[in-house]
A and B are shown apart, each in its own frame.
Chain A
Amino acid sequence: MSDNKAVNTALFDYLLWLGDNSLVLGHRLSEWCGHGPVLEEDIALTNIALDLIGQSRLFLTYAGEVEGKGRSEDDLAYLRDVMAFKNTLLAEQLNGDFAVTMMRQFLFTVFNYHLQNALLTSTDERIRSIAEKAIKETTYHLRHCTDWVIRLGDGTEESHKRMLEAIDELWMFTDDLFDAVESDKLLIAAKIVPDMKGIQDKWNSTLKEVLGEATIKIPERSYMMKGGRKGIHTEHLGFLLAELQFMQRAYPGAKW
């Protein structure tokens, strides 16, 4: 494989990962539509879902162009099977109660914020322009979930207990956020994407700051589940896709 072609293949994989992260988490948040604990949160979660799906569209459209086989954003979102999805395991976890949703949102958004910030200096112009657009939205997302994590963590006895249960439940999926694949090295060398180590350091330091204020103890390191990037998912993604992809699977090529 020529160098150029290898970089292209690596870039396609990376763009799918970016697009799938936003698509899957956006879908999860959309499940709150009509079920939010208060009207403002119903609106906030669906607004954030909309931003994430918008960001996903930009990444998947670009992925399709990089691949060069004529696949559109819709083809990539609706017609790939579970194992072709690259999203991080955290994004596909169930909504649970509001504490689990907010903790998942926080753990992911801190990561997404630092990653998108790093992508602002990508040598790839298209990635840079998407990041430039997305970071403005992600900054609002971060502020929103940070508020909630502090308010619930340092809140009532009940809300504090639920936030602790939430972080315990989700912690095992957090290493997967930073799980790179071999071909990423080509992209890092070309300064198209950042090294994950730097992102993880920033993630750790933001977590320490916010969770400290929220009086939430960071769990001890224990078993960490990984594999999203390589298409090895938890049981939940298949069910999510069954709903997300239903229309195109039941009525192939349907349009409106």
Chain B
Amino acid sequence: METKEQILGYLEEVYDPEVPVLSVVDLGIVRNVEVDAEGTLITITPTYTGCPAMNVIEDDIRAKLKEKGISNFSIKTILSPAWTTDWISEAGKQKLKDYGIAPPEKSSPDISLLSNKSKVIKCPRCGSLNTEMKSFFGSTACKALYICNDCKEPFDYFKCI
């Protein structure tokens, strides 16, 4: 029988379909893995309520475990505690940056509710801090759209929730 560490190792090979450099473990979607005589229970949580990738991720986890010869497992989805970008691992943040997506900066939300201030985000390409938020909503639910005023390139920012 596989150990918890082995199962986690397999899950490291399951990638987010929309950000294919991050595994579901890097992203913090996998909340727990329990292995006992009855089988394996994997607990996952969605990033956003409407995230269309969640069904695919669940299918991908099933496919990966079957490929590894594991059949006695189940997947449980929980909502609470709610997923936060703080759960993205340090390795995950580095992978995001290398991929050209600015990683989430700090745990606080990026917005003060009714005022007009947004955080200063570093351009993942040239490192400039002279960047500008174009839209809170980007190519997927989890990203915001920025532009760098120095290298003139637009880039995605993985926004804090």
* A residues lining the B interface (CB < 8 Å): 40-41, 43-44, 47-48, 50-55, 57-58, 125, 128-130, 132-134, 136-137, 139-140, 142-144, 146-147, 206, 209-210
Contact = CB atoms under 8 A, between A and B. Distances in A.
B114 interface: yes
Contacts of A130: 79
Most chain B CB neighbours (cut-off 10 Å) among A43, A47, A125:
A47
A44 B49 contact: no
B72 to A, nearest CB: 27
Contacts of A206: 114
Contact of A133 (B49, B135, B138, B159): B49
Contacts, number: 86
Interface residues of B, number: 28
Nearest to A38: B135
A48 B137 contact: yes
Given A43-B138, A55-B49, A136 B109 contact: yes
A137 B111 contact: no
Nearest to B143: A47
B141 A142 contact: no
B119 interface: no
B20 interface: no
Contacts of B49: 51, 54-55, 57-58, 133-134, 137
Chain A CB count within 10 A is highest, among B49, B78, B159, for B49
A140 B139 CA distance: 15
Contacts of A58: 49, 79
Contacts of B145: 40, 43
B82 interface: yes
Interface of B: 46, 48-52, 78-84, 109, 111, 113-114, 116, 134-139, 141, 145, 159, 161
Contacts of A139: 109, 111, 113
Contacts of A44: 135-137
A204 to B, nearest CB: 15
11 contacts: A43-B139, A44-B136, A50-B52, A50-B141, A54-B51, A55-B50, A129-B79, A133-B46, A136-B161, A142-B114, A209-B114
Given A133-B82, A142-B113, A51 B135 contact: no
A194 to B, nearest CB: 19
Nearest to A129: B80
Given A44-B135, A136-B109, A143-B111, A54 B80 contact: no
B136 A54 contact: no
Contacts of A128: 80
A70 B51 CA distance: 25
B24 to A, nearest CB: 18
Given A51-B50, A132-B81, A140 B138 contact: no
Task: Kindly list the 5 A-B residue pairs having the minimum CB-CB distance in the complex, ordered from nearest.
Answer: A54-B50, A54-B49, A129-B80, A44-B137, A50-B50
Contact of B114 (A48, A133, A210): A210
B148 to A, nearest CB: 16
Given A43-B137, A129-B78, A136-B161, 20 more contacts: A47-B137, A47-B138, A47-B141, A50-B50, A51-B141, A53-B50, A54-B49, A55-B50, A57-B50, A125-B80, A130-B79, A132-B80, A136-B82, A136-B109, A139-B113, A140-B136, A140-B137, A140-B159, A144-B137, A146-B113
Nearest to A143: B111
Nearest to A142: B113
B2 to A, nearest CB: 30
